[in-house]
Structure 1
């Protein structure tokens, strides 16, 4: 074969690189315009977007020498080989959502721990109910305690005129009641006076004119905390000689008289130096009791009375 373009008997005899030689160029050989190397080379440069998609396993046949085959569809254009899912056998299938897996699967996101939230809510409600129950029980306990306190610690002793029914109660500090002469209920001609000095009652007032049958003083005492033994004390003054009186508890006369002895060793006729005290053992009931000291037949009642008070138990002082 001579240089030039005389044609080739077979495709193998056609030298594609003839343009590289001087005799080939003289015979009009031209380099290929569509790319480098052999026609249809895999290194052929293509414009972006001209490559065909959707044709797996197929390669377009090369066009004329040095030309790129025409593409079926450009980038972003409908492809004739594309088929919509609806046209496939069985129709379109909805996308499958990935199932959440719990802690056991170890894959996917864990859903909210609704069981833990429920347990927490129940615990909060239970705590609130317990707090309300404790508060209600505490209020009831306080009410009960107030009721018991009202029974054992009523208001302080009240003074009353001799014509009214005197009462007294336990003092706020828990001591048993005490009463002055002017607050006692007087009967049988007994009167109050303050001529004789030395009486321990408020204002020096005492009960006089007691030295005749029927004279009496009555004390209605409230707030006795419980049934039991008590000692009733009486403050009095005698004119240097002994005397007696009758003690009545809740309407029942005592077998033991009130001994109004001259414990102060006052001279005869001296009431001012004869102030002293005495006591009797009694049984009282819980709550209210009536204590009466009177001058009865056979008593020697020449005495002035100024105070009365109680002590729990049978004591001597």
Structure 2
């Protein structure tokens, strides 16, 4: 070698296309004949699959002019061209590994495609859930309708509740007409007398009982035709003025628990009895058949009243 010329065997000068350039031709580059085009260049060309593994390497294949098939390959009919044979077709070549694609799989990583079966199952589950929900809603609606229809006729309507039967609202009032009496039918005691000077009495002829404001004066009513034992309401129509009054009530010979309240409910204060007509009530217990009721003026009572009439109603009512 001379200074500045290191030869053509260095990698950077080992140009396979050097014969195409002037400087390459000056250095003796030739068209390829098994090497890279430079004299004495290393022959690195090897047909695919020609290197045996674990065996003695065969002699180098005969080279042929560029673009022609080597003579050895031409003399071996039926044998694959070494320049184009795959490694697995030659002795000692690499083993072919077959990759099996799972059934139902497609492309993608690892040979597995989209899981179409899973998507189909998910879609079927969603549809089934929707169908079940619709069915439950329809069953619930039908049940509500059935319940509503069952209640018709079993519970009173609002209008029925606002108009209860007389027996329910009036303490079990009987439809049987109960006895009543006016002043003329009462048995008088003491200083009690009949009168008709004060207007407003409802008894026949406007007659009422007066002079009851003296101790010992009384009226007694013999009641016939009481339908059964039980509680009743005794009503009394009367007139009073100024202060509230109270008298003794006796039922079947026994004093009633409280005095008969004869209050001045009209608030008449000018002494005019025609303005003081009103009514009061008490709750005696009667027996079936005949009973006696007495209203009397006893010691400590206030008896300044005019008594018009008495009547009964079944149960404990206020009107």
Could you say which TM-score interval applies, normalised by the shorter chain?
0.3 to 0.5
Relative to its length, the structure with more helix (as a share) is 2
TM-score, with length taken from structure 2: 0.45
Higher Rg of the two aligned structures: 2
TM-score, with length taken from structure 1: 0.45
